[in-house]
Amino acid sequence: MDMKKVIILLVLAVSVSAVSCKRSSSKNSSRATGWKINSKEGGFQYNDKFKEQATAPGVVFVEGGTFTMGKVQDDVMHDWNNTANQQHVMSFYMDESEVTNFMYSEYLFWLKSTYPPEEENFRAIYNGAIPDTLVWRNRLGYNEVMTNNYLRHPAYAEYPVVGVSWIQAVEFANWRSDRYNELNLENAGYIAKDAKLTATSDSNFSTDTYINSPTSTYGGSDSILNPERSRRRVQTTASGDTINKYATRETGIISPMYRLPTEAEWEYAALGMSDVRSYNVYRGRKKYPWSGQYTRTGKRKVRGDHLANFKQGKGDYGGIAGWSDDGADITKEVKSFSPNDYGLYDMAGNVAEWVADVYRPIVDDEFNDFNYHRGNVYTKNAIGEDGTVKIVTSDEIVFDTLPNGKVVARDLPGEIAQVGVDENETYLRTNFDRSDNRNFRDGDQQSSRQYADNFDEEDEGIETESADITRLMYNSPKHNIDRDSSGAMIREYDKSNKRTSMINDEVRVFKGGSWKDREYWLDPAQRRYFPQDMATDYIGFRCAMSRVGSKSQNKNKTKN
């Protein structure tokens, strides 16, 4: 064969190969099938231009990593509940400050507007969300000014909200998630502009409802959901079908939910270990969210100033007026002190904070050392007789009466009713086998105080409900709430003198010291617990959000 022809054939082969490679790696076609994606004619639609998760309002980024969770100083309380253990936490976002009275008041305003408490069917929704302002009262103290003003008065607008139970904090986070995603969809043109201002009890937005049954959102209101009336052009195929009428998770527009941080996340974020890192080890242990072993700053310009708001000593909640004062009698306006290295304010002092975890004296790192969390209760969407998800209506709201007598709504109208997972999800699985995992490996038969008796559950008549099994281990009080035939509430306080513990599956961990605590509790490793349905004047909360995608925000970060 002529040498010139051979060269021409080789050039053509290389050209064809290059074109083939270019096409196979093109964003317009699939590397799996070669089919076009995002085609106007139809087919698979996917956001191939997504770069990174947007930072949601109020939160800052915390890059995950490995840290030593637990004790770094003497256990003077002899609790033996913060033994050091190594954990790994994935990257996440956390509120830069505690949730304030202003932020919580916006939530109350929305509830009151959407579910008017004047209507009997909705009264418990609003009342169940109001913080307990009576937590400020003291039998031998005059604190009525806080009782009457702390939540509502603008003078306290940027102070951390208190009197909020763990249950109320979770509901606030859920509401906040829906409002943020509602705004995202409005900005992207998937729902009508200012639809968020028209919410009613029968026409409101729920993230889960929009994902699973978008036509049921806003009560199925065509004026809000109809793409023809929105600001976004909908693609129509040759057959007349729309291919991007509603946003899905594939669009990247729907954000992960706001939630309470896990205990491991909170402690990791509070420590702010980035300033003491050397290559892949930490140069030392940290006692506080700031560097150093003292609660006053050593900087020359402001030497001696307090680094947090906490109780200095007996009868000393701030110091001598006008000198060496932390500027607060009770709580203090958020962001009053310098943030830690993650940009988080008040991770020590001001108010202690709820976290997601159910309390146990140990952190079971033998079973899991990755994203540790105790408190998982897995649920799934309830399915109606017609095979579609069951949307809660105004006539189907389920209310729970808590042990303290307070009534809260389990699901709000417009949301999808939830039920526990069953054998359909657990059969032949190795990673979980039940819906309620709060007492997993702690409170079951093998770990109970009766294990030595080798009892049989059937012989002893032991029920398998989570709380009943847990009481074998902890034997906590059980207070009962009931109603008589007239609807009047009957409270039965457990007066048994045989109770051995206050721990059960309804007590949650809270972290960090408060304006009411001594210096010892400022250590992020310290752990305490409180009933999830009760509130105090020194516990508040902040929200977190999971990070999706890359661990680091800096994709060009040098690899070690």
341 contacts: CB under 8 Å, gap ≥ 6: 272, 273, 274, 275
What span, in angstroms and rounded, lies between the C-alpha atoms of 181 and 194? Answer: 13
Q: Are 69 and 267 in contact (CB under 8 A)?
A: yes
CA distances from 361 to 58, 336, 486, 536 (A): 32, 33, 43, 22
Which of 125-139, 391-405, 446-460, 486-500 is predicted with the least confidence, judged by mean pLDDT? Answer: 446-460
Closest C-alpha among 87, 48, 215, 60 to residue 543: 60
Closest C-alpha among 169, 176, 182, 240 to residue 211: 182
What is the 3-state composition of the chain as percent helix, strand, coil, each rounded to the nearest 5? 25, 15, 60
C-alpha atoms less than 13 angstroms from C-alpha of 422 in its C-beta half-sphere: 5
DSSP string, 102-130: HHHHHHHHHHHHHS-TTSTTTHHHHHHHS
Closest C-alpha among 204, 251, 241, 239 to residue 225: 204
Fold (topology level) of 59-438+505-546:
paralog of FGE (formylglycine-generating enzyme) (3.90.1580)
Q: Where are the domains of the chain?
A: 59-438+505-546
How close are the terminal C-alpha atoms of the chain, in Å? 54
Q: What is the pLDDT of residue 383?
A: 94
Dihedral angle computed from the Cα positions of residues 545, 547, 553 and 559, in that order, rounded to the nearest 10 degrees: 140
What pTM did the predictor assign?
A: 0.89
Please provide the average confidence, as pLDDT, over all residues in the chain: 84
Task: Report residue 3: phi and psi, to 5°.
Answer: -60, -35
The model's pLDDT over 545-557, given as tens digits with 9 standing for 90+, comes to: 999 999 998 765 5
- Structure tokens belonging to residue 246: 């509603």
Question: Residue 36: is its pLDDT beyond 60?
Answer: yes
**Number of neighbouring beta carbons within 10 Å of residue 206:** 25
Question: Residue 486: is its pLDDT beyond 80?
Answer: no
- Decide: residue 248, CB within 10 A, 0-12 exposed, 13-18 middle, 19+ buried: middle
Going by pLDDT thresholds of 50, 70 and 90, the confidence category of residue 463 is very low
- Decide: residue 97, CB within 10 A, 0-12 exposed, 13-18 middle, 19+ buried: buried
Q: What is the pLDDT of residue 400?
A: 87
Rounded to 5°, angle at Cα 324 from 319 and 329: 35
Question: Residue 468: is its pLDDT beyond 70?
Answer: no
- Does an H or E element contain 207, and which? helix 207-212
CA distances from 300 to 1, 150, 154, 290 (A): 87, 35, 35, 16
Task: Dump strand ranges (E) for 251-394.
Answer: 258-259, 277-278, 281-282, 352-358, 379-381
Residue ranges of the alpha helices (H) in 340-436?
A: 423-426
Question: What does DSSP say about strands 352-358 and 539-540: parallel, antiparallel, or unpaired?
Answer: parallel
The model's pLDDT over 345-393, given as tens digits with 9 standing for 90+, comes to: 999 999 999 999 999 999 999 999 999 999 999 999 999 888 999 999 9
Q: What is the pLDDT of residue 79?
A: 83
- Does an H or E element contain 480, and which? strand 480-483
Tell me how far the alpha carbon of residue 255 is from its chain's centroid: 13
Length of the chain: 560
Percent of the chain's residues with pLDDT above 90: 50
Which of 39-48, 106-115, 131-140, 243-252 is predicted with the least confidence, judged by mean pLDDT? Answer: 39-48
> Averaged over 401-429, what is the pLDDT?
91
